[in-house]
Amino acid sequence: MKSAISKMQLIILTALRMTVGWHFLYEGFDKLFNPDWSSANYLNTSRWIFAPVFRAFAQNSMTLTVIDILNIAGLILIGLALMLGLWTRIACFSGAGLLFIYYLSHPPFIGLDFGLSTEGNYLIINKDIIEMMTLLALAMLPKSHYLGLDRFFNKSILKVIAPKKEQIKTLFSESIIPVNKKRREFIKGLISIPFLGAFTAALFKKNAWESLEEKNLLDAVSSASVKSFDFSSLDDLRGQIPKARILRKYFSRLILGGNLIGGWAHARDLLYVSKLVKAYHHRDKVFETLLLAEKCGINTILTNPLLCGIIQEYWRRNIGKIQFISDCGGDDLLERVQISVDAGAAACYIQGEKSDALVRDGHIDLIGEALNLIRKNDLPAGIGAHYLKTIQACVDYGLTPDFWMKTLHHHQYWSAHPREEHDNIYCRKPEETIAFMNELKQPWIAFKVLAAGAIEPEDGFRYAFDHGADFICVGMYDFQIVDDVNLTLKILNHPAERVLL
């Protein structure tokens, strides 16, 4: 017995099916038209119990290629079937299965999202599961509730494929159905066609507009009106960053700075930039950035105790093994040292502004206590500074850290005004800094080498390395990492002359 359904209910159910189909179709074509798209990052950042399986798929290039092809083909074919109302039940089950795989890869469970709210994740439930349940509900509907090409297949074509006497008789009887009824059935069967046409027109318009923009854009690196980027990928990587030793631990000579990830952009009077940078670095983007850095040979990130948790999450999910140097920043220095040690820091140092303040206020002894606490936990212990007089005061006091952190950059950029206290100069006396630091026996890490983005990387990197820095710490977006690594390799075309402890 057929269940009764009103015309409005039938229209709404059909619109729901085509809406989901539109989404599938868009996702499929969006990936198809993007030559740089790959599921690798998505698979590599998988979490929960199936994470090792998904990450294993990403590590095999042949398997990854097959997965990418199947993913694109599946999205397009399922989307087309749902839009056209063709083999609807099969399409609904197939789409639900694909969405369930997505869900298993990145389930929004408590403890797996690091407490970060992301659009589409609603505490265990996310958009994938909602759309999956929608497709399962549509699959359970009687076939009489399907508007689309299935009406032709169900009533005519399948009967011709297997022509039994009863089917031929039914087919003949249908041929004498009143013309108006046949016309209505025909219209119901083709109801999806206009929507598919609208999708095709919108997709063509979108691609045509993006092509026009690409054709008329200014230089993609220097222009402020940029929509698409063309930065280097792992295919362009020229080698791995070399490492050097501090005590018994090895650190990459190019260290990933954590300020951008934490949202500390040092953007001077551009007040919105820190929020923008923090919004860009959502949880999965942080994981992608760290994983890309590791693949380039960068084995260390320098960060604040506030970000220790996300590093631990990165380790716990077995995405990668990047180590971190903690700046132990915060009001209670010794407490922050202990937090950093407990969180698994590979090294600790007293953050530059903190050291500057302690020296200024006559509390150098507290710096010594912090060094002793770090060493008590068998970690390399360092001292950071923005001002050269801070380093000099620590040396005069008799402090001998395992490494130093010191700002270093020249003043040949337009916003450098040494006479004024603006947030635009981080190394006040570069020449004196170079002379003094090169007299010290301990290795040192130069930071703020680009003056917070005011100096071109090739200029800033070369200035630091050529003037004695053993390591440089640089904040990088994910799309800058390969370029910065290649640049560092170009500059470090011979072993460092200094002997690192």
**pLDDT tens digit string along 176-193?**
444 444 455 555 555 666
- What's the whole-model pTM score? 0.62
3-state secondary structure of 38: coil
| Structure token pair of residue 117 | 């709210």
Higher pLDDT, 166 or 304: 304
User: Given this model, what pLDDT does residue 374 score?
Assistant: 97
Q: With 50 as the cut, is the pLDDT of residue 92 above it?
A: yes
**Helix, strand, coil fractions of the chain, as percent rounded to 5:** 55, 10, 35
Of 213, 195, 214, 192, residue with least CA distance to 203? 195
User: Given this model, what pLDDT does residue 109 score?
Assistant: 80
| Structure token pair of residue 32 | 């198809």
Which amino acid is it at 158?
A: L
Q: With 50 as the cut, is the pLDDT of residue 253 above it?
A: yes
Find the mean pLDDT for residues 104-111.
79
Taking the mean position of all CA atoms in its chain, how far away is CA 40? 12
Find the mean pLDDT for residues 136-142.
88
User: Given this model, what pLDDT does residue 215 score?
Assistant: 43
Pick the most confident of 27-41, 225-239, 265-279, 381-395.
381-395
Find the mean pLDDT for residues 434-450.
96
User: Given this model, what pLDDT does residue 133 score?
Assistant: 93
pLDDT per residue as tens digits for the range 299-314: 999 998 888 888 988 8
Q: With 60 as the cut, is the pLDDT of residue 386 above it?
A: yes
Question: Other C-beta atoms within 10 Å of 467: how many?
Answer: 17
Find the mean pLDDT for residues 211-215.
45
Residues 386, 391, 397, CA angle at the centre, nearest 5°?
A: 145
3-state secondary structure of 172: helix
Higher pLDDT, 366 or 229: 366
User: Given this model, what pLDDT does residue 40 score?
Assistant: 83
Q: Does 241-491 carry CATH code 3.30.1380.20?
A: no
**What size, in residues, is the chain?**
501
In the chain, where the domains are located: 7-149+190-208, 241-491
* Dihedral pair phi/psi, residue 266, rounded to 5°: 50, 55
User: Given this model, what pLDDT does residue 501 score?
Assistant: 40
Question: If pLDDT is split at 50, 70 and 90, which confidence band does 156 have?
Answer: very low
Find the mean pLDDT for residues 148-158.
60
User: Given this model, what pLDDT does residue 226 score?
Assistant: 35
- C-alpha distances out from residue 103 to 27, 53, 89, 254, 343, Å: 16, 14, 21, 36, 30
| Structure token pair of residue 113 | 């999202």
Q: With 50 as the cut, is the pLDDT of residue 24 above it?
A: yes
Q: With 90 as the cut, is the pLDDT of residue 127 above it?
A: no
Would you say the C-alpha torsion 98, 102, 107, 108 has a positive or negative sign?
negative
Question: If pLDDT is split at 50, 70 and 90, which confidence band does 317 have?
Answer: confident
User: DSSP letters along 365-422, please?
Assistant: HHHHHHHHHHHHTT--EEEEESSHHHHHHHHHHT---SEEEEE---S-STT--TTS--
| 38 Cβ contact list (under 8 Å, min separation 6) | 64, 68
Residues 334, 337, 273, CA angle at the centre, nearest 5°?
A: 110
3 bridge partner residues:
none
Find the mean pLDDT for residues 90-95.
93
User: Given this model, what pLDDT does residue 145 score?
Assistant: 66
φ/ψ region of 347 (left if φ > 0, alpha if ψ in -120 to 50, else beta) reads beta
Per DSSP bridges, beta strands 125-126 and 243-246 are: unpaired
25-29, 311-315, 492-496: segment of lowest average pLDDT: 492-496
DSSP 245: E
Per DSSP bridges, beta strands 347-350 and 323-326 are: parallel
Find out whether 12 and 145 touch, Cβ atoms under 8 Å: no
Q: With 90 as the cut, is the pLDDT of residue 10 above it?
A: no
| 320 Cβ contact list (under 8 Å, min separation 6) | 290, 291, 294, 314
Measure the CA–CA gap between 428 and 325, rounded to whole angstroms: 25
